[in-house]
Structure 1
Amino acid sequence: MSAHTHGAPPKPCPGPDRHPKRPAFVMPRGACDTHVHVFGPQAEFPFSEQRSYTPEDCTYDDLMQLHETLGIDRAVIVHGGAHGTDNSATLAALDLNPRRLRGVAVIPSGLPQQALEDMHLRGMRGCRMSTVVSGGASFAHLAGLADETFDFGWHLVLHFNRASELVDVAPQLMQVSSPFVLDHLARISAAEGVDSEPFQTLLRLLDTDRCWVKLASLYRLSAEPYPHRDMLPMIARVVEARPDRILWGSNWPHPICPVAMPNDGDLVDLIPHWLPDPKAQQLALVDNPASLYGFESIGQAS
């Protein structure tokens, strides 16, 4: 079930903070932001009529400028829900910097093999399903997408509206052979915490070796102001369990943000609080995304 009421007009979506701070934390070489979106330009890439929100234009150039300020070398563009299943805006951005960028598509199952091959050649490495936004792909496509994209080495990305949905879909995830990423810590809030059924389900899924957990937009899940210390117990448990399966993302430009718009420099400065061990930082920021998304080794990176 989508969080968006079917048939309701799309909600206007505030843009990001256009003046990011330069963070105190220095990113390691080859650091990857595994969760960003690009939107528009609308004149070239119109939004889907089925969208649940209308963002500002947030382009490739905006993203590159942001990452220069933050000290980030690589990024994964997760196709934004406002564009529906037309991945043109994301693919156009990937085409501009194929060594530095990878992508996650939003597609239905049943696409022709040639379409998947084209997206793979242009840098797509996964496909996302969501119960949060309308006009995309639901979890009903999970088995089909897993089968159709497996030979490309793609992973599945699950975007939950409620953490309880992880419990519901976990049996399917146990059955598929594909790797899968749980976006935004599977939407498990600080109030639910480490003893909740969704979090215990997440830990069991980590035992499969195919589960990856993305630490992104956790400001949505906290009941406390920045630096959101109430999220630390869950983060610590996940990092302790599988430091080789942790990813970090900014979630720029923060679409459908239900709280005060964060500054991306502040979000980078949370990393040493979440991952105090430099070895864990290297894994989450460099080695893990290089493995999952197929980036070249640091010595070869531009």
Structure 2
Amino acid sequence: MTLGPEPTIPGPLVHPTPPSFRPPPGSCDSHCHVFGPAATFPFAPDRTFTPPDVPEAALARLHRTLGIDRAVIVQSASHGRDQAVLIDALRTGGGRYRGVALIGLDTPRSELDRLHAEGVRGIRLQFMPHLGAAPTDEEILRYADLVEPLGWHVEIHVAGTGAVDRFGVITKIPTRVVIDHLGRVDLNDGLDSPPVQALRRLLDTGTVWLKLSGTYRVTLTGAPYDDANALAASLAAHAPERVVWGTDFPHPNLYGPMPDDGILLDGIPDIVPDERNRHKLLVANPTELFDFS
């Protein structure tokens, strides 16, 4: 199927609620995206969705509202392996941003070196049917071998029982592993389901990190996401030194109510009540994981 230029997914809220919680200096939004503008950075011909334009300027505006100083921009599947939009954002950020790329097993080392020089520090592997075919376990390890010399992490985007299904291969990955969006577990199964237990066991390895992002993707109750925040809180308490937080702005492939990023930020004190561990979550942990200066 060939997609036209019109967006097939909605955009984010233009005016999020000003948050009550003020993050500490140096805080990082560890998972967000930029889209286009398509006139300058065309979307991939083989994309599975077409987002509206949400350029770096919109991301920067959100971060000013939230009081966020740094961010990790994850290359979107809508742009595919053309990293031009990501590189432009990294350069515009002037050191405030790090990047996570989408690559292929045929991506040459020279290209990886170029991306590293621009600020990329990881790759993302997708296991979501709406984003295309997932890599096999063998391919996952081959990807890890490609990026290990650069010290990059491998980011895993799974859902449902994915943390259980991929547990074995994740523990074999020689680099740091970052699991997106609380593993997108099904909260219908409770806070101690096999996938949640798998996340805890993966955190216990010492090489797996978890993004406490996408609470709005796992909630059963809706905003202010108390049930998902409770899940995030239990995992943050389990391994406070290996968790990071992100908005997932501009919330792609969401067809229900768009989350209010101010409300997402205001959930942080419920997720991590202790100020010292909040500093780890927002400042110290992303500084280490994403190699900020």
Bin for the TM-score computed over the shorter chain: over 0.9
What is the CA–CA distance in structure 1 between the aligned matches of 2:92 and 2:72, rounded to whole Å?
Answer: 13
What is the CA–CA distance in structure 2 between the aligned matches of 1:84 and 1:261, rounded to whole Å?
Answer: 24
CA contact 1:254–1:261 (8 Å) conserved in 2? yes
What is the CA–CA distance in structure 1 between the aligned matches of 2:16 and 2:102, rounded to whole Å?
Answer: 28
Provide the residue aligned with 1:81 in structure 2. 77
Provide the residue aligned with 1:115 in structure 2. 111
Q: Deviations over 1:177-206 (max 9, x none)?
A: 110111000111321232211111111111
Q: What is the identity, as a one-letter code, of the residue corresponding to 1:211?
A: V
Q: What is the identity, as a one-letter code, of the residue corresponding to 2:154?
A: L
More off after superposition, 106-115 vs 283-292: 106-115
What secondary structure is seen at the aligned counterpart in 2 of 1:108?
coil
Provide the residue aligned with 2:146 in structure 1. 148
**Counterpart mapping for 1:1-302 below 5 A:** 7=1, 12-132=8-128, 133-134=130-131, 138-139=135-136, 141-160=139-158, 162-296=159-293
What is the CA–CA distance in structure 2 between the aligned matches of 1:85 and 1:277, rounded to whole Å?
Answer: 40
CA contact 1:45–1:89 (8 Å) conserved in 2? yes
- Percentage of matched positions with identical amino acids: 39
How far the C-alpha of 1:231 sits from its partner, in A, is 2.1
Q: What is the identity, as a one-letter code, of the residue corresponding to 1:21?
A: T
What is the CA–CA distance in structure 2 between the aligned matches of 1:268 and 1:168, rounded to whole Å?
Answer: 31
What is the CA–CA distance in structure 2 between the aligned matches of 1:209 and 1:269, rounded to whole Å?
Answer: 28
The TM-score normalised by the length of structure 2 is 0.94
The TM-score normalised by the length of structure 1 is 0.91
What is the CA–CA distance in structure 1 between the aligned matches of 2:192 and 2:96, rounded to whole Å?
Answer: 39
Structure 2 unaligned runs (5+)? Answer: none
CA contact 2:12–2:250 (8 Å) conserved in 1? yes
Q: Deviations over 1:207-241 (max 9, x none)?
A: 11111110111111111021222224422321221
What secondary structure is seen at the aligned counterpart in 2 of 1:54?
coil
Q: What is the identity, as a one-letter code, of the residue corresponding to 2:140?
A: L
CA contact 1:184–1:217 (8 Å) conserved in 2? yes
What is the CA–CA distance in structure 1 between the aligned matches of 2:133 and 2:95, rounded to whole Å?
Answer: 27
CA contact 1:21–1:264 (8 Å) conserved in 2? yes
How far the C-alpha of 1:273 sits from its partner, in A, is 1.3
Query: Runs of 4 or more off by more than 6 Å in structure 1?
Result: none
What is the CA–CA distance in structure 1 between the aligned matches of 2:17 and 2:230, rounded to whole Å?
Answer: 27
Q: What is the identity, as a one-letter code, of the residue corresponding to 1:158?
A: I
How far the C-alpha of 1:137 sits from its partner, in A, is 6.5
What is the CA–CA distance in structure 2 between the aligned matches of 1:233 and 1:139, rounded to whole Å?
Answer: 32
Coordinate RMSD, CA, aligned: 1.7
Structure 1 unaligned runs (5+)? Answer: 1-6, 297-302
CA contact 1:34–1:289 (8 Å) conserved in 2? yes
What secondary structure is seen at the aligned counterpart in 2 of 1:61?
helix
